[in-house]
């Protein structure tokens, strides 16, 4: 026990733990299960060293030991009881589960969120959620929100690769008309019905001259439209970068893709950390211990 409280041993244990938890080092926590056990063992030894030292020393050492025990206990309990993961939700959709992740980032499957949240809108870097009690909360990069016993924060907007809506300009002898289309919601212009068949956010042709999308980002949007007049159906391909190209002689109309509103999904970090207040108390106690300390460095 005397060896454990030696300043050199305490300094080595603290330095080892510092290296283990540092995110920039390759052996940083939590790399693996064995690594987690090793880190926990070093943390326990360090806390034990502070407790043993406090048995024969003054107030500062006592407070430091208390702080170390609170921090190790808080992290251990949260290691066993905390739930963290990712909630992915599209605009207009509701979710009541999230994808739970282990300490090493491994997916653990779906976990109930305890209540249903619906993504009402998302813009810039913030997302507005409707809760079952009728409240609407906004999550921003600088503010997480509480939903039941979970906290939701760090919103990240990702294009899903689909289009929430596309705007097509149809020109004929009578003039130009605009029609807005979305999946399952065709548009009508007189006796012509226009429907969105496929959308390519980043259009390109493969070696067999077949259209495909290089990415989910709307860099070169294009769409395949199904146009019906009576019994006849035409397939019209429109590319936003080539507005005057798409004419259908039989219909006497030309089509141009003028605007696209990409469909976005929002990824939200979800966490339930019941022992976080103990960690805050431990950190404050550690701060007090450093202030009270009288021994020379």
Partner 1 sequence: MNPLPATAALLALAAAFAAVPRRAMAPAPVVRVLAVLAALVMVPTLEEAAAWPAAALVTGAAVFATPLPCLFGAAAAALSALAAPVPVSHVPFAPILAALSLAAITASLDTETGARLRSGLDSGWPSVIAGLGLCLALALSGDGQVLGWRVALRSSDQLVTLPGAGLVAGLTLLVTLAGSLGLAAHLLTRAVPSGPVRRFAARLLVLGGGLAILSVGYWLYRGAPFAEMLPAAAPGWAAVLLGTGALLASLAILIGDPVSGEPQPWLGRATLEARIGAGLAVAAAAAAGVESWLRAATYATPATAAAASAALLALAVLEPTRWSLVKKGLLVVALVFVLTGA
**Interface with partner 1 (CB under 8 A):** 7-8, 10-12, 14-15, 17-19, 21-24, 28-29, 82, 84, 141-144, 150-154, 268-271, 273, 276, 279-280, 283-284, 286-287, 290-291, 293, 295-297
- Nearest distance from C-beta of residue 206 to partner 1, angstroms: 24
159, 160, 162, 156: which is closest to 267 by C-alpha?
156
CA–CA distances in Å: residue 243 to residues 177, 187, 220, 237, 253 = 14, 19, 12, 11, 13
Sign of CA dihedral 59, 65, 68, 73: negative
User: Which residue, 26 or 175, is less far from partner 1 as judged by CB?
Assistant: 26
Least distance from partner 1 to the Cβ atom of residue 242, Å: 24
Query: What's the token pair of residue 224?
Result: 């395949």
Please identify, using beta-carbon distances, which residue of 10 and 164 lies nearer to partner 1.
Answer: 10
Strand partners, 266: 89, 157
CA 195 to CA 180: how far, in whole Å?
A: 10
Distance in Å, CB of 29 to partner 1, minimum: 7
Query: Which residue, 8 or 175, has its beta carbon nearer to partner 1?
Result: 8
* Minimum distance from residue 133 beta carbon to partner 1 (Å): 20
Residue number with CB closer to partner 1 (64 or 254): 64
Residue 95 C-beta-side C-alpha neighbours within 13 Å:
23
Half-sphere exposure of 190 (CA within 13 A, CB side): 11
How far is it, in rounded angstroms, from Cα 209 to Cα 204? Answer: 9
For residues 198 and 293, which CB has a smaller minimum distance to partner 1 in the complex? 293
In whole angstroms, the minimum distance from the beta carbon of 185 to partner 1 comes to 35
């Amino acid at each position: 026990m005397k060896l454990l409280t030696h300043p050199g041993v305490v300094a080595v244990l603290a330095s080892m733990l510092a290296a283990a938890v540092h995110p920039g080092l390759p052996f940083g926590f939590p790399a693996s299960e064995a690594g987690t056990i090793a880190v926990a063992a070093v943390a326990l030894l360090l806390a034990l060293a502070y407790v043993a030292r406090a048995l024969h020393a003054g107030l500062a050492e006592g407070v430091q030991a208390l702080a170390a025990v609170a921090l190790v206990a808080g992290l251990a309990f949260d290691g066993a009881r905390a739930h963290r993961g990712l909630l992915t939700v599209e605009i207009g959709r509701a979710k009541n589960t999230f994808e739970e992740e282990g300490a090493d980032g491994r997916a653990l499957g779906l976990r109930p969120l305890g209540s249903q949240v619906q993504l009402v809108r998302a813009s810039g870097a913030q997302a507005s959620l409707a809760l079952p009690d009728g409240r609407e909360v906004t999550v921003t990069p600088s503010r997480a929100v509480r939903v039941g016993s979970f906290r939701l924060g760090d919103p990240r907007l990702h294009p899903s690769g689909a289009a929430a809506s596309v705007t097509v300009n149809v020109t004929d002898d009578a003039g130009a008309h605009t029609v807005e289309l979305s999946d399952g919601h065709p548009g009508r212009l007189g006796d012509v019905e226009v429907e969105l068949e496929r959308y390519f956010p980043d259009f390109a042709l493969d070696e067999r001259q077949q259209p495909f999308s290089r990415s989910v980002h709307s860099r070169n949007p294009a769409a395949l439209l199904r146009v019906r007049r009576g019994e006849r159906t035409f397939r019209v391909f429109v590319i936003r970068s080539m507005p005057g190209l798409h004419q259908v002689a039989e219909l006497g109309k030309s089509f141009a893709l003028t605007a696209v509103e990409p469909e976005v999904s929002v990824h939200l970090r979800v966490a339930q950390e019941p022992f976080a207040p103990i960690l805050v108390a431990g950190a404050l106690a550690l701060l007090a211990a450093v202030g009270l300390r009288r021994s020379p460095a």
